[in-house]
Amino acid sequence: MKTTLRVLLPVVVLLAACSNPTGQTQAQSVSGAIPDMPAPTKRAPADSASMKLSFSPVVKKAAPAVVNVQSRRVVRQRVDPFWDFFMGGGAPREQVQGSLGSGAIVRADGVIITNHHNIEGIVEGKGDITVQLADRREFPATVLLDDPRADLAVLKIDTKGEKLPVMAIDDQEQLEVGDLVLAMGNPFGVGQTVTNGIVSALARTDVGAADFGSYIQTDAAINPGNSGGPLVDMDGDLVGINTFIISRSGSSSGVGFAIPANVVRQVVGAALGGAHVVVRPWLGVKGQPVTGDIAKSLGMTAPRGVLIAQVYPGSSADRAGLKEGDVILSIDGRPVNDEGGGAFAIGAHKVGDRLPMQIQRNDREQTITVRADAAPETPAKDERAIKGDNPFSGATLVNLSPAVAQELGLDPFLGRGVLVTQIGQGYAMSAGLRPGDFVREINGRPINTVADVASATAGQARNWTVTIERQGQRITARLTL
């Protein structure tokens, strides 16, 4: 996530301490049951008196399952900062970057939950991840599943059969504002730390570094390096994963946010089920929060809900019969007051679930049933790495659909076309193509699918005319290879 820092203005801070050290896909929807994982218990503290005197019983239960996560990755940097589209520039060079964060052991055979941004960019042969246990032993880790949308990642270490201390994921805890919580982790690399506070807000969907979230807000001090560490209730169970803060200074003197346990369980369950991508239901609407003026014009007594401006054909909303001008008030009993709230309310369920939705239509409230369907993948993704003597050699392209947009964290209403997702070694790199570019024409031929690109670049040619779309602007360039 990119942020602009200004003096005395609040900023969102991902809680990984990053530095420069010296030196596809299977998809699965997730059920709530995860084998071989501990069930939450209600044993710590022993009594209310001991809790009032000390958080020690809670810490003793939870701390052995808190780990440190260190990653090193190789990144490619451009020498010329003004290198731009089709303008050439210095050749990229590789540089090693590091990240320091925290995590929690959620299964005794070495399954660990942490933040995506702690291990972002790690690919086989281009970086490594090291997990340090509470007893200071270190293990190399592999990534079972990386979920950028929720800013979560599931790691696995080889324990050689040893059973490790674990922390139960308590997604049944009915958190309330004012509940006591502990934030645990390894800030600044100084060793394990614990801070206490209260839950200061719930279901915060109007903040966040990820595009899928309904965060627990806490005033427990969270520092860089706490990222990926657990937010723990007074039973010693995991109720959230610390992920970012909003602060004027960038330090912990702000408010912290944690990913709730039900999302954590969803991601861990997908990883243990063998999936590499979490498939979440998609509502398929575009709208705006109901303001005071809008509420008055609709005859509502108070501003609430989301006014629908657009419904994607074939989406869950479309199949449920939602129309432009409807107001979504709640999904499965969860109030919906912005697009993020609607996305989370349906996305936290399993594909195929049927959920009650309360709406207002023509001055009358009614309840309809929506089926939680996955985002449509039409046209088929058809991801390809282009090869040969052409301007796209080294680029990876996909056909954009709502499913692909959701996977990439893009707006599913962005439209259709051929999207550049990665740039590797080849002509595409020197030509200045970037991830996020749409390919619109090649030598005057309209491009609608990846197959069109493959066909247009199959022949031998020295001169090329290429049109792309970048951030809504069409750019045409003539190249000689």
Q: Provide the token pair at 61.
A: 């239960």
Q: Among candidates 341, 374, 369, 334, which has minimal Cα distance to 355?
A: 369
The owner of tokens 């939705």 is: 357
First to last CA, the chain: 35
**CA-to-CA separations, 266 to 30, 171, 238, 271, in angstroms, rounded:** 6, 10, 14, 9
- Beta strands 277-278 and 27-28 are parallel
Identify whether 151 is a catalytic site residue: yes
Catalytic residue among 151, 170, 179, 373: 151
**Residue 379, CA atoms < 13 Å, CB-side half-sphere:** 15
Identify whether 276 is a catalytic site residue: no
Identify whether 19 is a catalytic site residue: no
Catalytic residue among 29, 227, 252, 393: 227
Catalytic residue among 102, 117, 214, 437: 117
Residues catalogued as catalytic: 117, 151, 227
